[in-house]
Chain A
Amino acid sequence: MKSLALVGSGASAVHFAQSALERGWSVTMFDVGRARPDHLRPELSFSGLKDAHAGASEYFLGRDFSGVLFPGAKGEYYGFPPHREFVFAPHRLFRSRAQGIDPLMSFARGGLAEAWTGAVFPFSQGELADWPIGHAELAPHYDEVARRIGVAGAIDDLAAFVPPHAHMDAPLELDPHSQRLSERYAKVRERLNRELGVYMGRTRAALLVAPRGERKACDRKGRCLWGCPNDAIYSPLYTLRELQAHANFRYVPGVFVRRFEAGEGGRVRALELEREDGVREIRAVERLVLAAGTLSSSRIFLESLAHAGASAPALEGLMDNRQVLLPFVNLAMLRRSAELDSYQYHQLALGLSAQDPREYVHGLVTTLKAALLHPIVQSLPLDLRAALDVTRHAHAALGLVNVNFHDTRRAGNRLELEGSGEQRQLSIRYAPDAGEKPRIQAALRRVKRALRALGCFVPPGMAHVRPMGASVHYAGSVPMSASGGELTTTPGCRSRAFENLWFADGASFPFLPAKNLSFTLMANAARIAAEEF
């Protein structure tokens, strides 16, 4: 039987594996694979948990209080839930030094998508202009992935920027605040579209609105950020669970892939692994697919090149989406009731058109429902008691637009190894392009004007430019191209340096649109399996 080795268990890896298995391949998946802890009292809602569980404080804030956002915490409006810290917990063998970017790594089973908000936004034809493939090549795989994971959404004004796909369930009912925004948009739509080039529509989300297998439908428990206890928001873990039932699939957790070895003729012949007990082993491979995430796959590639004798190998063109958080107050929602036990993530999105479709700007509109309030309360320019009272009265009116910007591959944004032996580490360098600041300012002006037209007040001085790395949308280090050098891939994401090596994750993206890339990661991985295997 044809066999392949696959590294990683994230969004790209599991969908590559599923498609490869369907095509008759035997798949062995190597993964560090830190396991997700069980859900605490999955039957309880956000407020029910606080009411009924003595350990709620530890659940929300952590035993070590890491969930408390103390003053000066870089302007973030929420902390990462302590019991989900396994997603970003470092690994002793992955050493890195970053400059200009604060990268987040994952060694969790399910990868970085364990922290995914489920945003499903296919790339448009215009956004794929720098790719050697077009939307037509990805479209059937978008359809297939939507069928596998469950997507809820609607075809509306955003369809001009977010191409429709098959297998889309009706979206969840809007929360009252989002409903209000949506109604207001209907009234000012024409003006927003014409004068500002701003469009609003429903978020497409990898969310179950009806049960599917072991996964239950969303019943609005308000615990999305802490990990949906119904498993309604998609995680690659659920696909991995299905894969493990397949006779030709083998999951090997607890191993860190150090590098691969190549033989004569530029063929990968083995993987060097290190188990948790420190024992190293060599596994022969016929074909190797790296899907460990852009930074991890790049590290494996660089280590392997160095081992093969390459002098100071480096990968240029690292990309990441800049994100800016823009809080707003919807005056029509002041002193209305807020539904604490509600779907927590964004239900609406904004699209800002651009003459060049690659410069499209995307905004996720999250209304405040269930959330820890202390980060918001302390950010108001009042004493804490006054700020708490104002927040309680304004709770239902608060919202946040997460404005996303595209990124391009540029020289200097590079990954390379530094040091030697056991001290060798991955150097990660990133600098934004010179045009970033005016681009952000121009987009924020449009978003603010749109929010005002929607009846919202945007408090001055509260926009927060998130540091690079915070979006966790890394890509571009080994780009696919129609023709290119050794450190690129073919349009099928096959390495030009090693004939039996493929990159099935974001490393092969030649351009990064202003959208969450997870859905495209999955679709592209399925495409690679379908076209190359």
Chain B
Amino acid sequence: MIESSAATAAWERECAAWCRYLVDQEPSAALLARYADAHAQRIVATPACDSGFDRALVGFARRGSFCARLADAHARLFRPAGLLRRKLVLTLALLECDAAHHRRVDLVSRGSRAGFLLRCLAWAAGFALLSLAGLALFLPLRAWCSLRGEAPGSA
């Protein structure tokens, strides 16, 4: 399937944003090509996950790592199988199979158990805060999409 170079460039920019968010790295050329290929094969955006709200969430997340985390935290709770999560999970899968990046995913971190538990608490607290912020931000957006018939599940 031949995709326009504009579409490919957009997917590559998007992929780069997800890689920075997930592992603080710029994607390799091979990873970018695979990410674009997955989109060209139409396996990422399925009808069930490609509502106006899903696209708005993706658009917001593309703005940077903080926005990506905010949108992701919201999606984890309220759109776990939505478009944003699908794109992020695809990127993670590609990262863990790519020569340039897999160690950022695979490499096991060592340290104390107490340190780990503190780290978990910090992540969980961050997730809770972001989820609350996400509610304030995205619920109105979702309501607006609903009014326009573009919310998830809208006919």
Interface residues of A (CB under 8 A from B): 47, 50-54, 56-57, 59-61, 64-65, 67-72, 331, 334-338, 340, 372-374, 377-378, 381-386, 388-390, 392-396
Contact = CB atoms under 8 A, between A and B. Distances in A.
B148 interface: no
B55 interface: no
B116 A384 contact: no
A377 B99 CA distance: 20
Interface string B61-86: 00000000100110010001110011
A382 B119 contact: no
A461 B100 CA distance: 36
Contacts of B155: none
B89 A70 contact: yes
B120 interface: yes
Given A68-B93, A386-B123, A393 B116 contact: yes
A384 B80 contact: no
A384 B124 CA distance: 12
Contact of A393 (B30, B41, B111): B111
A230 B108 CA distance: 26
Contacts of A382: 73, 76, 123-124, 127
Contact of B102 (A47, A54, A335, A336): A47
Contacts of B43: 64-65
A3 to B, nearest CB: 50
Contacts of A334: 113, 116
Given A71-B89, A72-B81, A390-B120, A65 B41 contact: yes
Contacts of A67: 93
A335 B88 contact: no
Contacts of B21: 384-385
Interface string B14-34: 000000011100000011001
B123 A389 contact: yes
Given A57-B94, A70-B86, A389-B123, A373 B108 contact: no
A79 to B, nearest CB: 9
B92 interface: yes
B3 interface: no
B149 interface: no
Nearest to B88: A384
Given A377-B92, A385-B72, A71 B85 contact: yes
Nearest to A47: B106
Contacts of A374: 89, 92-93, 96
Contacts of B73: 382-383
A50 B102 contact: yes
B97 interface: yes
B72 A383 contact: yes
A66 B128 CA distance: 33
A336 B96 contact: no
A337 B102 contact: no
B99 A51 contact: yes
A126 B89 CA distance: 47
B140 to A, nearest CB: 21
Most chain A CB atoms below 10 A, which of B69, B93, B105, B110 = B93
A381 B131 CA distance: 11
B47 interface: no
